[in-house]
Amino acid sequence: MIRIVTYNIHSGRDLWWRKRLWQMADTLKDLAPDVIGLQEVHQNSKYGYQASFLADQLGYHLAFSPSIQISDGQYGNALLTRLPCTNTTSLHLPAKKEKRTLLQSTLTWQEKEIAVWVTHCSLNQASRTAQLNLLTTLAQEQSSTPLLLLGDFNAPFVSFAPLLVDCATIKGKERRPTLPAFRRRLDYIFASSHWRVRSYSLSNALWSDHVPVIADLELLQFPAHVE
């Protein structure tokens, strides 16, 4: 099985803006995922090279997708993985205000190529709708490759069915909030029909305003049939 985590780290700080990057690193070590998607990550001297720090602490490969310029560096999404990474691209998503990106990586799992995408959608509904439509189109174009799409989608109800399944819904846990203080679910892990969802859970670590989302999946020999 492969273990996937998505985590909005809130610039390495908790709900009260206290620095928690070391605790986040320890939590991620304990979860021992194969792949981690991160949102709200800094790579600059003003707030720190947070993606690099977490990758170094875990000993994982790092891919970073800058969304906006901050100081002498960037801020955006990151992917950390212990798996071989053969290709990574960063795609700008349509957005009216704050820029948003999609990090697209090709990893090797069980001697097969898999696609892992990490994103953070807009708060603005019109921008978010355009982003979700584009993600749907891109996923349709990727339908022959096992795909995992993860991130903070900034909406309590997001679906790419039947193209991709929501790991939480498959396990009947779609009502559990990933932004606990506001009782909202914003963070998702979606999987193509090449995967069987074995488990889905949330960490109780409150180092960010979001909690880590965890899914264990099995890569099938043949894609599951989707109606």
Q: What is the CATH number of the domain that holds 212?
A: 3.60.10.10
Q: Which domain holds residue 97?
A: 2-219
| Angle, helix 21-31 to helix 50-58, in steps of 10 degrees | 40
Evaluate if residue 223 carries a pLDDT over 80.
no
* Per-residue pLDDT, 196: 97
Q: What is the pLDDT of residues 61-88, one digit of tens each?
A: 999 999 999 989 999 999 999 999 999 9
In whole numbers, what is the pLDDT of the chain averaged over residues? 95
pLDDT at 217 over 70: yes
How far from 93 is each of 45, 70, 117, 163, 227, CA to CA, in Å? 26, 19, 13, 20, 29
For the cut 90, the answer to whether the pLDDT of residue 225 exceeds it is no
The verdict on residue 225 lying in a domain is no
What is the residue whose two structure tokens read 């890569």?
219
Number of domain units in the chain? 1
pLDDT of residue 97: 85
Instruction: Establish if 50 belongs to a structural domain.
Output: yes
Q: Is residue 84 part of a domain?
A: yes
**What span, in angstroms and rounded, lies between the C-alpha atoms of 119 and 187?**
10
Residue 226 within any structural domain of the chain: no
Res. 224: pLDDT tops 70: no
Q: Is residue 224 part of a domain?
A: no
- Is 63 a domain residue? yes
Tens digit of each residue's pLDDT (9 = 90 or more) over 156-191: 999 999 999 999 999 999 999 999 999 999 999 999
The answer to whether residue 128 sits within a structural domain is yes
Residue 221: the pLDDT is 79
35 within some domain: yes
